[in-house]
Structure formats: structure tokens, C-alpha cells
Amino acid sequence: MDDIYVKLISNIKDSSLNDLETIIKAYELANKLHEGQFRQSGEPYINHPLEVAYILSEMNADSDTICAALLHDVLEDSDISKEELSKEFNETVAELIDGVTKISKLNFADNKEANMANTRKIITSITKDVRIIIIKLADRLHNMRTMEHKEEFKQKENSLETMEIFVPLAYYIGAYRIKTELEDLSLKYLKPDMYKKLEKKKIIIEKESEKCLTEMLETIGILLESHNIPYEIKVRAKNIYGIYKRVTSGDKLYDIHDLLSLKIMVENISQCYQALGLIHSKYRPINDKFKDYICNHKTNMYKSLHTTVFGSDEHLVQTQIRTFKMDKVASFGLTAYWDLKNNNAREEMQKDLTEKFQFFESLSEINIMCADNQEFVRQVKTELFADRIYIYTPKGEIIELPKGATPIDLAYKIHTDIGNTMIGVLVNNENVPVDYKLQNKDIVRIITDELSYGPREEWVPLVVTSTAKRRIKEFRNTFNEVSG
């Protein structure tokens, strides 16, 4: 235990953001309050909040977050009140702890309604303070890492819940490292045989590719150096769950070209394209595998260039090229703001979440639409957590929609007025009916007319997003009032 405490403190000392004294005080209080409590493994309970705080300290989290992580289980497990915590620390710390507590430790198998209400609390806490979800993700990560002492039933139940709720949340805030580890831990408990099999195969493929990758690392390094481009280059391996998903969708293991990829980090955007040119001058690319996520970033803010090239000994190798800053965001998502935006990380996180992350508006909309908890959870799972498609507007903007969405959904996602005046739609320059199911990468032009009658009642069953449903109903209500 001392070990993890020492590691935590040394991380805190390294970080300019943190107030060491307050953090030590939070640890001492947590230690006192959890005294005599043990985890199922037999170790003192305090180890758990310490580990959670340590995970967050690795992301350079702010003092309030670290204190809240150390104390995240005390409201539940001791007599201390939220008011006392607020007095001892500050209101933010108390609110964060309260936020995390409200969404923990309900018995999910027990009661369906309590379960749904809890799930809703987890998901909507992101709208209050995203740090609640970040602490919760770190908490879940540590619990998943230490699940070997739990009964098999509990392991499977937790893994399922992790896949259904926490993995999508981690994805949406761009916390890729946490997401991939949670996926692998879940798969390990849900499909242990499959997990072991893929793990072994992955090691074999890694060995086979070693020579080719070493050659490429060297060659690319020399190329970049000779052009005076400062760089760092790493081998990145796909996680087991990522491989599992590809294999179960019919791909052969040896066809997964990004099972191992080279990650090249440079200082600025123009160097990214320069590096790309240099790599293509040396290794022949596969044209339709090239992706420019710098111009067209993913909807969770991921930015990078991807190109798959023929490496030596005929291996296909994916290379990812990005700046150091993009790499931080690629690994840590919103939590990278602690590192990148020093002083007002917290404000910028919540601001960008609201303005730049497309899922946020949809989530708020679903929250308004669904009074019933069960309906809320069902809608979030189908609209946000299930398969998504990405379509282009004529200007090249990328819009994220749930699979099964129609042009009407898109029109309302762009703007209420577009939906309300829509009279037709062109997909890839062809006329299609309004109930057409949009496909990934469709280029969609919505045709509008100021004088249109507005959305029809018959459109309601054709849409899958809450936004579209609500806007059509609102329009119809106003319309009926006026004409009635």
C-alpha cells in the first residue's frame, strides 16, 4: 500500500497544478474513515481509492479531482456528510464526491427501476461536471483490474455493464486508453477462451512482424532526420477486443492491417504532411486506406493521418502520423486538457464537450424527451451507444448519426429550420425518398423550400433521433394550434 501512496505523491509533486497539502489531508481523512474496512481480496480498503487517485494523477488531474477520488467512497461507507466534506475541503470536492456516490454501488440485479435510474444518473452526470464521469471511469477501471476475487456471476455482470455503459462514455470523451483497457478486461471475463486464443495469436503475429517493423522504424527515422523533422516513433498494437470485433465481423486475422501500426509524432501539422510524403516516397500506399483525420477529425476530436503501406517482406503496415498534441488527445481525450490547458482545463472541458462533441446535444435532448428512466436508457443505447454512421454534408462537414437514421434525422441534426423546410433530398447526387436509410460516407444534400408545408405527421415513425422526433412534434403542435 505504501508503494502506491508514494507513487501518487511523487506524481502530485511533479504536477504544477496540484496542492500537495490538501491532497495529503484528503488521503489522511479517507484512511481514517475507511479504517477497519477491507476489500474482498483481503487488503485494506484504502488501497482502492488510492489506486483510483493514482490513475487520475497519471492524467495530471487537478487537486479537486484527486481529493474527490481519494474520498469517493466515504459518503457511502462512513458517517461523514456532504456538508462536512464541503467544510473540510471545498464545495467542488463535495459535489464531485456526491456525484460519484450517487451513481455507485446499487445492486443491479435487484431492481429494474433502481437500475435504470442509476444508469441514467451515470450518463447524465456528464452534463453537470464531466469530472464525475472521469472519476467514475477510473474507479471502474480499478475495479475491473481487480475482479479476480469476485464470483463469476458478478464478474460477468460488471463486464457487461462496463461494455454497455462505461466503454461508450469513455469513447465519447475520447479517453481511448481507458476505453481499450476496459474493453479487454471485459472480454477477458465475458469470453475467456476467445480472449486467450486471440492473445496468443497476437503474440505470434507480433513476432512475425518484428523484422519488418524494425526495418521501417529505422528507415523512417533516417528519412525524418535528414529533413530536420523532430519526431518520435512507436509501435502501437491493437487491443484484443479490437481484434475480436474484426474477427467476429468476418475478417481473417492476417487481414487486419492495423493489428500493429507505427505511430509517428511530430511537432506541427505541416510536418505531418511532410512525413506522409516521405513515407509514401519510400513505401507504396494502398490508396483507399488513406485517411485524413486532421482535416476531418473524428466526432470525438481524434486527429491523425492514417496510411497503410507495403512494408518490407510484403507486410502491410498501417502508419499513423500526428503531432504530439494530437497524440495526447488521441490517448486521453478530454482528460488531456489537464495537461494541455493548464489553468482553465475544467472550463474548457465542459465548454468543448457542449460545443464540439456532437453526442452531447443528442444526450441533452434525450434527457429532456424521456421522463421515464427505462425509456431514457433504451433511447441512449439505440441512439448513442449502438452502431453509428458518419455522413458528409455538401460542404464536407462530418455528421454522426445512429445507424438507421434517415435524411429527416440529418436535417434536424443540422438545424431545426432545415428540418422544418425540407422538401427533398439528394444522396450522392441522386434523388432518394425521405425514408431512405443513410449509409456510412453518403454525401447528403437536403433540399429546402421556405414555402414548404413543414414536416408531416407521417415523418414521426421515420426518424430515429430524439431531436427530430421532438422538433416535428413541436412544429405539428404549433401548426395545429394555428390552424385549429
CA distance 359 to 370: 16
Residue 139 or residue 327: which is nearer to Mn ion going by CB? 139
Which one of the listed residues 14, 28, 35, 76 is annotated catalytic? Answer: 76
C-alpha angle with apex 458: 456 to 464, nearest 5 degrees?
100
Residue 62 or residue 73: which is nearer to Mn ion going by CB? 73
Residue 136 or residue 322: which is nearer to Mn ion going by CB? 136
Mark 180-190 as b/e (b = at least 16 C-beta within 10 Å).
bbbbbbbbbbb
CB of 287 to Mn ion, least distance (A): 49
Which one of the listed residues 77, 215, 267, 339 is annotated catalytic? Answer: 77
Binding range to Mn ion, per CB under 5 A, among 8-16, 136-144, 394-402, 474-482: 136-144
CB of 154 to Mn ion, least distance (A): 15
CB of 137 to Mn ion, least distance (A): 11
Residue 77 or residue 352: which is nearer to Mn ion going by CB? 77
CB of 51 to Mn ion, least distance (A): 9
SS3 content of the chain, % helix, strand, coil (to 5): 60, 10, 25
Cell of 228: 530536420
CA distance 399 to 392: 6
Q: Give me the helices (H) in 235-371, please.
A: 240-248, 269-282, 324-332, 337-340, 345-355, 358-369
Binding range to Mn ion, per CB under 5 A, among 26-34, 133-141, 192-200, 270-278: 133-141
Residue 139 or residue 365: which is nearer to Mn ion going by CB? 139
**Distances 401 to 358, 387, 392, 410 between C-alpha atoms, Å:** 9, 9, 11, 7
The one-letter amino acid at 220: I
Subset of residues 460 to 479 that bind Mn ion, contact rule: CB under 5 A: none
CA distance 415 to 94: 38
76 in catalytic set: yes
Report CA torsion sign: 147, 151, 156, 162: negative
Largest CA distance in the chain: 76
Residue 62 or residue 139: which is nearer to Mn ion going by CB? 139
How many residues sit close enough to Mn ion to count as binding (CB under 5 A)? 2
Q: Is 86 helix (H, G, I), strand (E, B) or coil?
A: helix
Strands, sheet with 430-431, edge to edge from the N-terminal-most edge strand: 430-431, 422-427, 444-448
Subset of residues 67 to 86 that bind Mn ion, contact rule: CB under 5 A: 73
| Radius of gyration in angstroms for the set of CA atoms belonging to the chain, rounded to a whole number | 25
Q: Which residue is nearest to Mn ion (CB)?
A: 139
Interface with Mn ion includes 51 (CB under 5 A)?
A: no
CB of 138 to Mn ion, least distance (A): 9
Strands 430-431 and 316-323: unpaired
User: Phi/psi zone of residue 404: left (φ > 0), alpha (ψ -120 to 50 degrees), beta?
Assistant: left
CA distance 397 to 82: 45
CB of 161 to Mn ion, least distance (A): 14
Binding range to Mn ion, per CB under 5 A, among 91-99, 107-115, 138-146, 221-229: 138-146
Interface with Mn ion includes 139 (CB under 5 A)?
A: yes
98 in catalytic set: no
Residue 43 or residue 457: which is nearer to Mn ion going by CB? 43
CA distance 52 to 33: 17
CA distance 116 to 132: 18
C-alpha angle with apex 151: 148 to 152, nearest 5 degrees?
85
Residue 45 or residue 359: which is nearer to Mn ion going by CB? 45
CB of 52 to Mn ion, least distance (A): 6
CB of 469 to Mn ion, least distance (A): 37
Which residues does the annotation mark as catalytic?
76-77
Query: Where along the sequence are the contacts to Mn ion (CB under 5 A)?
Result: 73, 139
